[in-house]
Amino acid sequence: MKNILIVSNNDMCRSRMAQEILNSFGRGMKISTAGILAGNSVPDVVCQVMEQNGYDFSRRKPCDVATYAQQTWDYVITLCPEAEEVQKEMQGVVRKYVSFNFTDPFQGGIYVEDEQEERVRALYDIMHKELYEFFRSELMEKLLPRCSCGANTYCRCE
């Protein structure tokens, strides 16, 4: 089981989307999310886009990164440059930091509903692609079951 913490600015959009996307790729991951400054709630448009893509999206209250600072993590994944400051706050053991730079779809003003939905959809598409590449290169091999001989695929021991 790999313990993964995903950090964004507010734990309202990108981190929640990343959690659901990574969970959809397979088992063996315990994924938590947090924000540098936890926001108030997950915007409805984010929930709608994720539900339209087949995810049962959680509306739990956003969480502050300090909640997880003392824990041990296999990966701490930051989703924006601002979230990289989390490295200063983490006092537990972190085996590896991974950084992405996903644009905040709510940054830069107020948009009409259709435009906001399009921005969230575009973010989803980019995140899905990049997180799948991360999963494939970093996690997939480590999460596959292993035979007693050490092989994890196409074992011919038996």
- The answer to whether the CB of 10 falls within 8 A of the CB of 22 is no
Q: What is the CATH number of the domain that holds 70?
A: 3.40.50.2300
Mean pLDDT over 137-151 rounds to 69
**Residue 40 to residue 82: CA distance in whole angstroms:** 18
Give pLDDT, residue 87.
86
H helical segments located in 71-110: 86-89
Give the pLDDT confidence of 37-95 residue by residue, as tens digits: 888 888 889 999 999 999 987 677 899 999 999 999 999 999 999 998 888 888 788 99
Give pLDDT, residue 98.
96
| DSSP 8-state secondary structure symbol assigned to residue 6 | E
- Strand-pair category, 94-99 with 73-78: parallel
Is residue 154, in this structure, part of any structural domain at all?
no
- The answer to whether the CB of 80 falls within 8 A of the CB of 14 is yes
Give the pLDDT confidence of 20-33 residue by residue, as tens digits: 999 999 888 999 99
> Residue 64 belongs to what domain range?
2-143
**Residue 120 to residue 148: CA distance in whole angstroms:** 45
Is residue 149, in this structure, part of any structural domain at all?
no
**Residue 74 to residue 54: CA distance in whole angstroms:** 27
Phi, psi of 132 (to 5 degrees): -65, -40
Share of the chain above pLDDT 90, in %: 58
3-state class percentages of the chain: helix first, strand second, coil last, to nearest 5: 40, 15, 40
Is residue 74, in this structure, part of any structural domain at all?
yes
Is residue 82, in this structure, part of any structural domain at all?
yes
Is residue 155, in this structure, part of any structural domain at all?
no
Residue 34: both structure tokens together: 């947090």
Q: Structurally, how many domains does the chain consist of?
A: 1
pLDDT at 9 exceeding the cut of 70: yes
How many Cβ atoms sit within 10 Å of the Cβ of residue 125? 11
Is residue 76, in this structure, part of any structural domain at all?
yes
Confidence of residue 158 (pLDDT cuts 50, 70, 90): low
**Residue 84 to residue 6: CA distance in whole angstroms:** 11
Give the pLDDT confidence of 116-129 residue by residue, as tens digits: 999 999 999 999 99
Q: What's the pTM?
A: 0.85
